[in-house]
Amino acid sequence: MIIAGILGALLALVSTLLVLNFVEPEKHIEKKVRHGHGISDEQFRRELGTLLGPPIISDSAIINLENGREIFPSMLAAVRAAKRSITFETYIYWSGAVGEDFADALAERARAGVKVHMLIDWVGSQRMDERMLERMRVAGVELRRYHPLRWYHLARMNNRTHRKLLMIDGRVGFTGGVGIADQWAGNAQNPTQWRDSHFRVEGPAVGQMQAAFMDNWIKTTGEVLRGEDYFPPLPPVGRTSAQMFTSSPSGGADSMQLMYLLSITAAKVSIDLSAAYFVPDAMTRLALREALGRGVRVRILVPGDHIDTAIVRRASRANWGELLAAGAVIHEYLPTMFHCKMLIVDGQLVSVGSTNFDNRSFRLNDEANLNVYDADFARRMTAVFEADLSRSQSVTLAKWQARPRRERVLEHLATLFSSQL
């Protein structure tokens, strides 16, 4: 009887943890968002800056960096030039040459007296050599892991930080899609070197990026980092308006999805979407179909055969039929894993950052996107999108309908896990 009672209690505990971690959170957005104000309308920007996130602020400068060949040298140069503080949050940090370069640069700055604070996800850093971590800690890097395997985190094990944020002296910021790993090191020239984008930011928007880092740093450590080392005065640097948008299951799990829905329903001319993981739910697919019905051109670029998670590709392809039939253009990137995350609407709004177009990003992970309101920047990023499009192949409705029965079955099965993808 005692053994049976203990087993029953353990079963109840495991069942409770499964429910807390793997049952989809309560949905708050249950009715479709209707088409209203356009992207350039002040009311649209007012709602995104008031209803959902921090205000949209002007006078920043944003530079896009393409692939590790451009991204990592820029990030490392900024780290090595740090004088007062470095704050760094990332999901993937793996062992390898890139990981060693960052560890060496961060450790050197810490030894030089720079305050270095590093937050890495516990799951995303499992392929990181503990000796690398210890080397940074000994040098003085204040390093924490987000939601490590502890009894008091068991109910939140499915909530990971997927944010990718690096701030130098509170004045220069980086965000985008890259992880700290050798897979991103090259120029997307072959299947071992992934395709991705990252962004260097200066000006007032960096203060919002720093605040996004502080959100999870406080959650993890209970420590509030203050003062000019982290939040210096940020005079105008450029003319670009931007907003650092964040989401978290503990602070409004639906906010990122709502931001995407509002942007899609605001579209009047065009939607260009780069999505490393494209598994939209029924409501988001409806918003895209209704945009197509309004005459909006919708182009979607996703990974092809080279993808690190096959189940995501299958779950994605299962629902392409309704979008293709409505007129969407879907392309698969051919050369390597396509890890970009970018939404361009009407040549006015560009949203970039860590967020994938799937349930995990919309409801389970902590995410951070930089929303940029600038026609010149949108033109540059549209050119990047079209360059990627030229290295892809289109999937027509006829081709999608002709896929083998085995593929259809596997795709259907994959959709059963959509809430976790």
342-358 pLDDT tens trace: 999 999 999 999 999 88
Catalytic residue, chosen from 121, 147, 341, 374, is: 341
Q: What is the pLDDT of residue 251?
A: 63
Query: pLDDT tens across 147-190, in order?
Result: 877 655 555 666 788 999 999 999 999 999 999 999 999 999 99
What is the rounded distance in angstroms from the CA atom of residue 62 to the CA atom of residue 173? 9
For residue 19, is pLDDT > 70? no
Q: Is 169 a known active-site residue? A: yes
For residue 6, is pLDDT > 70? no
The residue ranges of every structural domain in the chain are 26-51+246-421, 60-238
Q: How many CB atoms lie within 10 A of CB 95?
A: 18
Q: What CATH number labels 26-51+246-421?
A: 3.30.870.10
CATH fold of 60-238: Endonuclease; Chain A (3.30.870)
Q: Is 198 a known active-site residue? A: no
Catalytic residue, chosen from 115, 306, 339, 358, is: 339
**Which residues of 304-379 form beta strands (DSSP E)?**
329-333, 341-345, 349-353, 357-358, 367-373
Q: Is 339 a known active-site residue? A: yes
Summary count for the chain: helices (H), strands (E):
14, 17
For residue 13, is pLDDT > 50? no
Report the b/e string of 33-56 with b at 16+ CB within 10 A. bebeeebeeeebbebbbeebbbeb
> Is 60-238 in the same CATH topology as 26-51+246-421?
yes
Catalytic residue, chosen from 115, 164, 198, 306, is: 164
DSSP string, 182-202: GGGSS-S-STTS-B-EEEEEE
Q: Is 341 a known active-site residue? A: yes
Q: How confident is the model at residue 29 (pLDDT cuts 50, 70, 90)?
A: low
What is the rounded distance in angstroms from the CA atom of residue 409 to the CA atom of residue 25? 27
Positive or negative CA dihedral for 82, 167, 170, 235?
A: positive
Q: What is the mean pLDDT of residues 257-268?
A: 93
Query: pLDDT tens across 80-104, in order?
Result: 999 999 999 999 999 999 999 999 9
Q: Are strands 392-395 and 270-275 parallel, antiparallel or unpaired?
A: unpaired
Which DSSP state fits 96?
Answer: S
Catalytic residue, chosen from 121, 169, 358, 366, is: 169
**Residue of 218 and 248 predicted with greater confidence:** 218
Q: Is 162 a known active-site residue? A: yes
Q: 59 to each of 74, 152, 305, how far by Cα in Å?
A: 21, 43, 41
For residue 115, is pLDDT > 70? yes
Q: What is the pLDDT of residue 51?
A: 78
Q: What is the pLDDT of residue 150?
A: 64
Catalytic residue, chosen from 182, 254, 346, 388, is: 346
Share of the chain above pLDDT 90, in %: 68
Q: Is 184 exposed, middle or buried (0-12, 13-18, 19+ CB in 10 A)?
A: buried
Q: What is the mean pLDDT of residues 285-310?
A: 95
Q: Is 388 a known active-site residue? A: no
Q: What is the pLDDT of residue 20?
A: 42
Close Cβ partners of 393 (under 8 Å, ≥ 6 residues apart): 304, 331, 332, 334
Q: What is the mean pLDDT of residues 258-269?
A: 94
Can you give the pTM of this predicted structure? 0.91
